[in-house]
């Protein structure tokens, strides 16, 4: 388990209420590096989310890196969380990533259905990129 992932698991284990969990997610969003305006394009927009989500993927020295943003606070936090989990991994690591991770940390069960779908769309884009 890499450092970013361990940090998330440890944090989530401490939360009891929805307030704590969302506070953590929103804070992750606030700490996210701003997305270069040139990358806020329709090509990087994930279609199907109720809020706008941009996710840009690139590969450098056999490692994948992700950059993103959203116009909604909680979704932006989720983008940041996804980036924290996957950025810096190689393609094999992403493809073989434990799909049940988000259930295990109780993230999915704590989110309304559409939010889960948004999460699924982001995951799908990252996995598709890694499979190329």
Partner 1 sequence: MKYLDSEKIRKEFPFIVKNKESKLIYFDNAATTHKPQAVLSSIANYYTYTNSNTHRSSHVQGVSSTEKYEQARQTIADFIGANTAEIIFTSGATDSINLVANSYVQNIINQGDGILTTEIEHHSNFLPWQKICKTKGGELKMISFDENFKIRVSEDQLIKERIKFIAIHHVSNVTACIQDVKKIIKLAKKLDIPILIDGSQAASHLKINVKDLDCDFYCFSGHKLFGPTGTGILYAKDEKIRKFLPNKLGGGMVSHASVKNSVWERAPLLLEAGTPNICGSIALADAVKYILKLGLDNIYKHENMLAACTIDVLKRIPNITLYRCSESSIPIFSFNINGIHHYDIASLLAENKISVRSGHLCCQPLMQKLNINGCLRASLSIYNTVDEIEQFGKSLLKIVKFLT
Active site residues: 49
Q: How far is the CB of 132 from partner 1 (least distance, A)?
A: 30
Residue 73 as a binder of partner 1 (CB under 8 A): the answer is: yes
Q: Is 8 helix (H, G, I), strand (E, B) or coil?
A: helix
Q: How far is CA 37 from CA 30, 40, 67, 90, 122, in A?
A: 17, 5, 11, 26, 19
Residues 35, 58 contacting (CB under 8 angstroms): no
Specify the stretch interacting with partner 1 by CB under 8 A; choose among 6-14, 33-41, 66-74, 84-92. 66-74
Q: Specify the residue, 78 or 126, whose C-beta has the smaller distance to partner 1.
A: 78
Residues 89, 63 contacting (CB under 8 angstroms): yes
Helix (H), strand (E) at residue 129:
helix 113-131
Q: Specify the residue, 18 or 59, whose C-beta has the smaller distance to partner 1.
A: 18
Q: Specify the residue, 39 or 74, whose C-beta has the smaller distance to partner 1.
A: 74
Q: Which of 44, 80, 107, 115 binds partner 1 (CB under 8 A)?
A: 115
Q: Which of 110, 117, 121, 127 binds partner 1 (CB under 8 A)?
A: 110
Q: CB neighbours of 84 closer than 8 A, spacing ≥ 6?
A: 4, 5, 7, 8, 28
Residues that bind partner 1 (CB under 8 A): 18-19, 22-23, 26, 50-52, 71-75, 110-112, 114-115
């Amino acid at each position: 388990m890499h450092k970013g992932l361990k940090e998330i698991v440890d944090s989530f284990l401490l939360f009891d209420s929805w307030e704590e969990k969302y506070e953590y997610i929103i804070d992750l969003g606030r700490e996210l590096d701003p997305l270069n305006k040139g990358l806020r394009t329709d090509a990087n927009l994930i279609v199907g989310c109720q809020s706008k989500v941009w996710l840009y993927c690139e590969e450098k020295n056999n490692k994948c890196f992700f950059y993103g943003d959203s116009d909604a606070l909680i979704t932006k936090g989720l983008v940041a969380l996804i980036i924290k989990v996957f950025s810096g991994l190689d393609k094999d690591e992403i493809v073989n990533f434990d799909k049940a991770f988000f259930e295990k940390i109780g993230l999915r069960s704590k989110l309304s259905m559409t939010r889960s779908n948004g999460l699924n769309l982001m995951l799908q884009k990252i996995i598709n990129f890694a499979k190329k």
